[in-house]
Amino acid sequence: MKSIEAPAIRATLGHADIAPLIGLVRATGYFDDAEVVIARELMELHLAQGAETSGYFFEVAERSAGVPLGYACHGPIPATLGSHDLYWIVVAPEAQGQGIGKRLLAAVLARLRARPSARKLYAETSSRPLYRPTHSFYRHCGFMEVARLPDFYRPGDDQIIFCLKIGLPRGIPGCSHGRLP
Ligand SMILES: CC(C)(COP(=O)(O)OP(=O)(O)OC[C@H]1O[C@@H](n2cnc3c(N)ncnc32)[C@H](O)[C@@H]1OP(=O)(O)O)[C@@H](O)C(=O)NCCC(=O)NCCS
């Protein structure tokens, strides 16, 4: 079923967001305990140092104040010229398939397009069958698979690196298939 009511996307993260967002990360069933710890650390670094110093930017989707439905965390990759990482993008299981992921990605891209130096957005993910819908999401939103690191996470579990070229109009929201040169 498609969107009931478009959520608002805000570019601010508060201390009160940590518990619900971590609950949401756990609720997806996609992330193990070590990954949940990292998700929390990125939030805490952002809150302690701010986005620019920490390098971790957040976009939070919510349908009503204080009830987040998903978030994206992204930032410039240190020591690169204009390469950015989509560290995390998560939508609450009950809210998936309603276009919220696309809206979060649109917010990330809007922020990156305001930076003249931003060139590419990378997303790394697992090759496990669990992640097939995630691969579909990235491809649908214009990401291209640019590399695959065999057995990266564990034997039989490759890392797939997706990349989206920033700056070309992609029609997001609505997403379209992109091309990398
Ligand atoms: C991946 C994720 C963020 C996508 O968010 P979402 O709100 O469900 O995605 P959207 O509704 O915006 O879907 C956008 C497009 O992606 C594709 N897509 C999304 N979910 C899909 C699925 N389960 N199967 C196939 N395609 C899918 C569709 O083409 C969809 O476009 P359409 O609705 O026009 O057909 C979300 O499903 C999620 O949190 N997954 C678990 C965590 C995860 O894998 N995060 C990424 C790694 S950090």
> What is the domain-level CATH number for residue 40?
3.40.630.30
Which residue's CA is the nearest one to ligand 1's atom 4? 101
Note whether residue 97 is domain-resident: yes
Please state the rounded mean pLDDT for residues 1-24: 85
Q: Is 96 in the pocket of ligand 1 (CB under 6 A)?
A: yes
Note whether residue 137 is domain-resident: yes
Query: What is the per-residue pLDDT for 168?
Result: 52
Note whether residue 170 is domain-resident: no
Task: Specify the ligand 1 atom closest to the Cα of 140.
Answer: 29
Note whether residue 48 is domain-resident: yes
The pTM assigned to this predicted structure is 0.90
Q: Which distant-in-sequence residues (6+ apart) come within 8 Å of 92 by Cβ?
A: 24, 27, 28, 68, 69, 70
Task: Evaluate the omega torsion of the peptide bond into residue 150 and state whether it is cis, within 30 degrees of 0.
Answer: no
80-114 tens-digit pLDDT: 999 999 999 999 999 999 999 999 999 999 999 99
Q: Evaluate if residue 50 carries a pLDDT over 70.
A: yes
Q: Is 91 in the pocket of ligand 1 (CB under 6 A)?
A: yes
44 alpha carbon – ligand 1 mean position (Å): 26
- Can you tell me which residue has the tokens 């990378």? 122
Note whether residue 68 is domain-resident: yes
Look up the domain containing 34 and give its range: 8-165
Task: Specify the ligand 1 atom closest to the Cα of 137.
Answer: 16
State how many domains the chain has: 1
Q: Which distant-in-sequence residues (6+ apart) come within 8 Å of 154 by Cβ?
A: none
